[in-house]
Amino acid sequence: MAKKAAVKEVTLETTLWNCRVALRGIGSTEKNRDAVIGLVFLKFAGDKFEKRRAELVEQYGEIPAFLEKVSFYNAVNVFYLKETARWSYIVNHAGDNDIAVIIDQAMADIEGSNPPLKGALPQNLFATLGASKSAIKSLIDEVNNITEKRFQEEDLIGRVYEYFLQVYAAAGTKEDGEFYTPASLVKLIAEMIEPYSGIVYDPCCGSGGMFVQSLKFVDRHNGNRQNISVIGQESNPDTWRLCKMNLAIRGISHNLGEKNASTFTEDLHKDKKVDYIMANPPFNLKGWRAEDELREDYRFQNWQAMPPVANANYAWILHMISKLDVTHGIAGFLLANGALNADGAEYELRKELLEKDKVEAIVVLPRDMFYTTDISVTMWIVNMNKKAGIVNGRRLRDRTEEVLFMDLRRWDANIEEIVIDKGKKKKKTVLTDEQIAEIKKIYNNWQGTNANLYSNVPELCQSVKLEEIRGKNYSLAPSKYIEFIDHDLDIDYEKEMARIQEEMKDILKAERQSQAMLEDAFRGIGYGID
């Protein structure tokens, strides 16, 4: 009797890859991304709905009419779905000629039944995608394979969403990549600013990674999610929808405004003060505002210089400072390294930021961490209160007129490989959990009252007084302050030359012996040697 061939278990990564390639060659990358993530949203929303519905049936028997209400589902972070919007309905009709219309209608119906989703889901996407019914069915079949029973993941929803956001960012252009900040960098910011309770704000929130990570921080440290609320906005309409879907399917309450909008031209949270800011603004954004509008903007009126229209880096900084609670607000954000030494109006603003004692830490990160650029960037920590006190149970010393500098450019050994297409990969530097913990430890020890726990480390970190920064013309480049070791000075040249000479003698001796053996061999077979 012939043996049956072993069935190879399909991994989650393979399943997710199959979802991506189902629409390969059809439409734009952005449309394919929205189609895949949109269907994944329908799948997870459907799974949650069916689970909640089963609970109600177990409690009440047959579902009475009064339970067919949105509130009975929304109250436990579940979206109410009409029958034709449920995942089971879509799967059963996957082979229909009008499947594209069925999916588009399901998207519209879910939004109509659940006010928190207003504007979040792609509308009329599948009918205009240009995909055949067989391609759409193939995608539905692959998405249908993503189940908790099959893949024993602790956070399957988060895992799947993170995968798609990451790979589509890696496959996109520079502009496409702006909707996604690498997860290790977001985790680092969360660990540094410690958003345990209060309002977390992101003025350019992309696909919502900062918000997700702030809640994960709370979970890691056994906090209470109910103590955190998230607000923000995003200018790109497609990215704004991605963010709302990302947060909604994870059950994270949020306020992203009623629409997409530019933070600079239409601040949707104008009168709001926040406790934490986590942000990755577009690097070196040009033409962000008309120059004649700046003088009337409340965010810039109390500063000696106006941020240049040609580069928004300092406009982002001033905007974030205008949002922070003046007694304890803290921000962690990423900027291009050029902001550390920029001249003109940016120099004047940097000088004023330092004299007003808003900058607490500057951390230069390794190169090649982003998917669409290989530059090294800087993490800034801006703190509205650097005086002594107790924060999250830690006793902090007075750090007024001090800045901690760190240079992590040599921390580039951990490489992650992202498969973005058949035969095409991207390799990116990633900070490990252990490295993030070490960075946090250095920062916390520097802040703390025990002077024995922190010390300056050459080529890594340096605590610097404002007086010294003034002497360096207000530069914030860590290389100006962190001690550099000239490793060439450690070499004993006389000893090294003696070692090399001895090695050369041995090499020459071996060569002479080889030549002699070769000559003997030739003579032995009758060849003369000239």
Average pLDDT taken over every residue of the chain: 88
Q: Are residues 387 and 293 in the same domain?
A: yes
Q: Which three-class secondary structure state does DSSP give residue 347?
A: helix
Closest CA to 199 of 253, 240, 150, 147: 253
Phi and psi at residue 332, in whole multiples of 5°? -125, 125
Measured distance CA(267)–CA(512) in Å, rounded: 81
Question: Which of the 8 DSSP states describes residue 274?
Answer: B
What is the value of pTM for the model shown?
A: 0.86
Q: What is the pLDDT of residues 372-392, one digit of tens each?
A: 778 889 999 999 999 999 999
| Average confidence (pLDDT) over 319-323 | 97
Q: Are residues 96 and 206 in the same domain?
A: no
| Average confidence (pLDDT) over 38-49 | 94
Structure confidence at residue 294 (pLDDT): 75
74: left (phi over 0), alpha (psi -120 to 50) or beta: alpha
Matching residue, tokens 């893949």: 151
Cα maximum dimension of the chain: 111
The region of weakest confidence among 109-118, 360-369, 453-462, 504-513 is 504-513
Identify whether 6 is part of a domain.
no
Structural element, H or E, at residue 427: strand 424-429
User: Which has the higher per-residue pLDDT, 74 or 209?
Assistant: 209
Structure confidence at residue 62 (pLDDT): 72
Q: Are residues 84 and 222 in the same domain?
A: no
Kindly calculate the radius of gyration of the chain based on its CA atoms and give it in whole angstroms: 29
Closest CA to 184 of 433, 442, 437, 363: 433
User: Which has the higher per-residue pLDDT, 122 or 173?
Assistant: 122
Q: What is the pLDDT of residues 334-371, one digit of tens each?
A: 999 999 999 999 999 999 999 999 999 999 999 999 87
68 pLDDT tier (thresholds 50, 70, 90) = low
Q: Which three-class secondary structure state does DSSP give residue 32?
A: helix
Q: Report whether pLDDT(497) > 90.
A: no
Helix 12-21 and helix 156-171, axial crossing angle in degrees, nearest 10: 50
Q: Are residues 270 and 206 in the same domain?
A: yes
Q: How many CB atoms lie within 10 A of CB 476?
A: 24
Q: How many CB atoms lie within 10 A of CB 167?
A: 22
Measured distance CA(280)–CA(274) in Å, rounded: 17
* Burial class (CB within 10 angstroms; exposed 0-12, middle 13-18, buried 19+) of 363: buried
Structure confidence at residue 504 (pLDDT): 72
Identify whether 275 is part of a domain.
yes
175 pLDDT tier (thresholds 50, 70, 90) = low
- Domain at 179, CATH number: 3.40.50.150
195 pLDDT tier (thresholds 50, 70, 90) = very high
Structure confidence at residue 169 (pLDDT): 83
Identify whether 444 is part of a domain.
no
Domain final position from 374, 397, 420: 397
First-to-last C-alpha distance (Å) of the chain:
75
Measured distance CA(337)–CA(220) in Å, rounded: 31
Q: Are residues 211 and 296 in the same domain?
A: yes
Identify whether 190 is part of a domain.
yes
Q: What is the pLDDT of residues 421-473, one digit of tens each?
A: 776 788 899 999 999 999 999 999 999 999 999 999 999 999 999 999 999 99
Q: Are residues 98 and 60 in the same domain?
A: yes
The region of weakest confidence among 47-61, 214-228, 310-324 is 47-61
Q: Which two tokens stand for residue 372?
A: 């669409």
Answer whether 234's CB lies under 8 Å from 206's CB: yes
Q: Are residues 385 and 292 in the same domain?
A: yes
Domain final position from 364, 397, 430: 397
* Burial class (CB within 10 angstroms; exposed 0-12, middle 13-18, buried 19+) of 132: exposed
Identify whether 477 is part of a domain.
no
Q: Which residues lie closer than 8 Å to 62 by C-beta, 6 or more apart?
A: none
359-364 and 402-407 beta bridge pairing: parallel
Cα separation values, 441 from 191, 447, 455, Å: 10, 10, 12
Domain final position from 397, 426, 448: 397
Measured distance CA(343)–CA(132) in Å, rounded: 55
Helix%, strand%, coil% for the chain, nearest 5: 45, 15, 40
Measured distance CA(530)–CA(524) in Å, rounded: 15
Question: Which of the 8 DSSP states describes residue 250?
Answer: T
Structure confidence at residue 529 (pLDDT): 44
> Which DSSP string do the residues of 286-337 spell out, in sequence order?
-S-S-HHHHTT-TTTTTSSSPPPTT--HHHHHHHHHHHB-TTT-EEEEEEEG
CA 387 to chain CA centroid, nearest Å: 30
Identify whether 3 is part of a domain.
no
Q: Are residues 316 and 355 in the same domain?
A: yes
Identify whether 248 is part of a domain.
yes
Question: Which of the 8 DSSP states describes residue 83?
Answer: G
Q: Report whether pLDDT(527) > 70.
A: no
Closest CA to 337 of 372, 375, 307: 375
| Average confidence (pLDDT) over 51-71 | 74
User: Can you give 30-87 as a three-state secondary structure string?
Assistant: HHHHHHHHHHHHHHHHHHHHHHHHHHHHHHHCCCCHHHCCCHHHHCCCCCCCCHHHCH
Cα separation values, 327 from 150, 168, 330, 351, 525, Å: 49, 40, 10, 22, 95
Q: Are residues 96 and 232 in the same domain?
A: no
Matching residue, tokens 């399917």: 249
Q: Are residues 100 and 210 in the same domain?
A: no
Count of domains forming the chain: 3
Identify whether 307 is part of a domain.
yes
Q: What is the pLDDT of residues 129-154, one digit of tens each?
A: 999 999 999 999 999 999 988 888 77
Containing structural domain, residue 84: 12-152
Structure confidence at residue 374 (pLDDT): 80
- Domain at 116, CATH number: 1.20.1260.30
Torsion 301-307-312-318 (CA) sign: negative
Q: Are residues 378 and 242 in the same domain?
A: yes
Q: Are residues 301 and 188 in the same domain?
A: yes
30 pLDDT tier (thresholds 50, 70, 90) = confident
